[in-house]
Structures are given as structure tokens and as C-alpha cells.
Amino acid sequence: MQRKTDITLSITLDENQTPEQMKWSAPDGGVKQQNMEAFFLSTWDKESQESARIDLWTKEMPVDQMQVFVHQTLVGIRESYLRATEDAQMAEAMQQFCDFFASERNLKEVKKSN
């Protein structure tokens, strides 16, 4: 039996078309109008063999948090790549870059804010 579900993104823009507020909802996952400061969305077009991306962040997103967000995204991409391809050699190379990125940006020192 086929089933449909929705994930929605709501973006409030300022007069310069810059995101001021962003929220997302995934009712099946229990998420309703949750605030977010940034998101990266990638899609794959089978016909054109190309990816399409939407990368947005609010003007209030601090650089140190963006660095952590990008790092965590890279780690997640590495994990997805490994699960999808079982290419341990490339996944290790990707992990080395993720470690380098974290080291260069001193991300281990970043504290969570409440």
C-alpha cells in the first residue's frame, strides 16, 4: 500500500529577499513549525544526472554556528556515502577531511547555547 507524507519549509523573507525566519514541519515525525536557522537541501535528477541544491540561512546565523553546521553536514554526507556505496576507502578520506575541518576551525571548543 502506497502512502504519501509531506515535509514543509516555511521561509519569511525581508525586503531584500534574505531569510529572516525559517520553520519546518514533518507531521509524521512529530515536528510542527520548528524554528531553524539554516538548511541545505540536495536533490538528484535521474534524467539529467545532476544534483540541485537549495542552501539558505537566516541573517542572524552566527559564523561559528555555521561552521559547526557545515561540519556536521559533511560528517552526515560521509556517513550516507558509506552506507550507500560501502566504499570504506573514500569514506575514510572524507573523514580525514572532516577531522581537518574541525581542527582548523577549532570546533571542539564550540559550546552549545541555550
Specify burial of residue 22 (Cβ count, 10 A radius: 0-12, 13-18, 19+): buried
53 lies in the same domain as 68: no
Alpha carbons 75 and 56: distance in angstroms, whole number: 19
Claim to verify: residue 55 and residue 20 sit in the same structural domain: yes
Residue 3 shares a structural domain with residue 53: yes
49 and 82 share one domain: no
Full domain range(s) for residue 50:
1-59
List, as one string, the DSSP characters of 68-86: HHHHHHHHHHHHHHHHHH-
CA 4 vs CA 10, 17, 99: distances in Å: 20, 31, 38
Confirm whether 114 is domain-assigned.
no
| pTM of the predicted protein model | 0.88
Number of structural domains found in the chain: 2
Rounded distance between C-alpha atoms, residue 63 and residue 110, angstroms: 11
Q: Do 1 and 51 sit in the same domain of this protein?
A: yes
Give a yes or no: residue 112 inside a domain.
no
Are residues 3 and 54 located together in one domain of the fold?
yes
pLDDT in tens, the chain (114 residues): 999 999 999 999 999 999 999 999 999 999 999 999 999 999 999 999 999 999 999 999 999 999 999 999 999 999 999 999 999 999 999 999 999 999 999 997 555 555
1 and 54 in a single domain? The answer is yes
* 89 in the same domain as 48: no
Q: Where are the alpha helices (DSSP H) in the chain?
A: 63-85, 88-104
3-state secondary structure of 62: coil
Let me know whether 37 and 87 are in one domain: no
